[in-house]
């Protein structure tokens, strides 16, 4: 008897083969810009076909731009796209929309908020950023000072955010703001959504060593947003953002670099190319062979743990510490991959420019540098360990309470 998922896989394989523009195979998903008008047109055509299919955010309800598919079906779509050199650009085009803002709006938003915001995210037409960290409120996010003051039908927002990914190219921002300074620092915080295209909002990109600059400083100077853009109850934004950050950490469990391509050679293929094999066809370096095998086992273990925890969390809104485990596990896997790739390529893996290096070799060192940020963004490695020790292992609280 044929499994329904097997039938679905066949349907996806056929649809991708027929609909994905072959000119986009090997593309960087539009992140570095396409030079030809033909490529731009094909990229937009592919985005629209995915949006019409509801596959930009396939597990979301159909009325909000999704396809109401299961997690298993969504995984099949991703797998079949990868086999054909295809990709889903919509989560990247939506910024923080598909992975973080959208799931949180689905859980905390009003019907009006869902109807107004989710379809634009699911189609990749509207990009979102998040105003969370501040110069004096990084790991201790509850110390934020950006404030929103009641002004009738609107909130007036003043303050500064930092590390706001994609703020300079986003149309909307989800921001954590202080709405009551007379109570405990976690009790007087709210989560508001505001349009970026207004006089009171300005951004300044932050240059990174890898050459890729997704981060910005964001300044709010009498910025405004309608009160209907308050997500969740007033002064209960801490609960909202904890759930949002859980979605972030879950999305980061498949951590990859911005320039990563689905059709790049595997570590095994790289090893054979750069290190060589012995007479038995094995990697010609026993120690490296063992470390490569151990890394691949870590990758598989991480993947299986992601699936198990995702299944256990199905339908639950409660914030758990499991995402912290996955965040740190994903960090080790992603950084381990980059380190091994660098070692396998040898001198060819550390080139910055020049015709003596291939495109993959030049991108590798940038991927390696970019990957160092994985252990910092979305909650640092050490902060996740604190969460794990307290909430899972039951060890005593050692961090500052607020």
pLDDT, tens digit, 9 for 90 and up, residues 240-252: 998 888 777 666 5
pLDDT of residue 209: 72
Which residue positions in the chain have pLDDT lower than 70? 1-2, 26-36, 210-212, 249-263, 313-321, 378, 398-402
**Phi and psi, residue 71, nearest 5°:** -60, -35
Half-sphere exposure of 155 (CA within 13 A, CB side): 28
- CA 290/CA 295 separation, integer angstroms: 9
- CA 121/CA 110 separation, integer angstroms: 16
pLDDT of residue 271: 87
Is 343 catalytic? The answer is: no
Cα–Cα distances in angstroms (integers) from residue 172 to residues 161, 201, 203, in the given order: 14, 11, 13
Catalytic residue among 134, 217, 236, 248: 248
Domains of the chain: 4-93 (no CATH), 127-235 (2.40.110.10), 255-391 (1.20.140.10)
| Angular region, 257: left φ>0, alpha ψ -120 to 50, beta rest | beta
Q: What residues contact 120, with CB distance under 8 A and at least 6 apart?
A: 65, 97, 126
pLDDT of residue 216: 93
pLDDT of residue 257: 39
- CA 192/CA 227 separation, integer angstroms: 8
pLDDT of residue 121: 97
pLDDT of residue 162: 93
Q: Hey, how many other C-beta atoms are within 10 angstroms of the C-beta on 316?
A: 8
pLDDT of residue 10: 95
Contact between 242 and 319 under an 8 Å Cβ cutoff? The reply is yes
| pTM of full prediction above 0.95 | no
pLDDT of residue 46: 95
């Amino acid at each position: 008897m044929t499994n329904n998922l097997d039938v679905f896989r066949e349907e996806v394989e056929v649809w991708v083969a027929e609909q994905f523009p072959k000119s986009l195979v090997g593309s960087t998903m539009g992140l570095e810009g396409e030079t030809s008008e033909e490529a731009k047109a094909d990229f937009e055509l592919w985005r629209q076909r995915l949006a019409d299919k509801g596959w930009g955010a396939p597990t979301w309800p159909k009325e909000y731009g999704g396809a109401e598919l299961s997690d298993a079906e969504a995984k099949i779509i991703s797998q079949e796209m990868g086999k054909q050199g295809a990709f889903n650009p919509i989560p990247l085009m939506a910024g923080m929309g598909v992975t973080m803002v959208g799931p949180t709006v689905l859980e905390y938003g009003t019907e009006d908020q869902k109807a107004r915001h989710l379809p634009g995210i699911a189609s990749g037409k509207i990009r979102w950023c998040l105003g969370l960290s501040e110069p004096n409120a990084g790991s201790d996010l509850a110390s934020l000072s950006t404030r929103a003051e009641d002004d009738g039908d609107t909130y007036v927002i003043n303050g500064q955010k930092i590390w706001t990914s994609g703020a300079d190219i986003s149309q909307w921002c989800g921001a954590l703001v202080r709405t009551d300074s007379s109570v405990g620092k976690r009790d007087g915080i709210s989560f508001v959504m505001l349009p970026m295209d207004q006089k009171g909002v300005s951004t300044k990109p932050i240059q990174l060593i890898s050459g890729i600059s997704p981060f910005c400083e964001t300044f709010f100077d009498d910025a405004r947003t309608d009160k209907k853009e308050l997500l969740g109850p007033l002064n209960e934004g801490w609960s909202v953002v904890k759930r949002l950050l859980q979605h972030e950490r879950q999305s980061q469990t498949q951590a990859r670099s911005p320039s990563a391509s689905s059709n790049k050679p595997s570590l095994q293929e790289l090893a054979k190319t750069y290190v060589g094999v012995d007479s038995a066809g094995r990697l010609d370096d026993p120690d490296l062979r063992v470390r490569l095998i151990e890394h691949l086992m870590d990758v598989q273990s991480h993947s299986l743990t992601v699936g198990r925890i995702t299944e256990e969390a199905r339908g639950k809104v409660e914030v758990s510490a499991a995402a912290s485990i996955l965040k740190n596990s994903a960090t080790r896997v992603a950084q381990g991959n980059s380190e091994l790739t660098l070692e396998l390529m040898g001198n060819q893996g550390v080139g910055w420019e020049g015709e003596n290096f291939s495109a993959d070799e030049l991108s590798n060192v940038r991927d390696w540098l970019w990957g160092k940020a994985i252990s910092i963004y979305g909650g640092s490695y050490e902060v996740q360990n604190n969460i794990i020790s307290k909430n899972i292992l039951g060890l005593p609280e050692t961090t500052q309470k607020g």
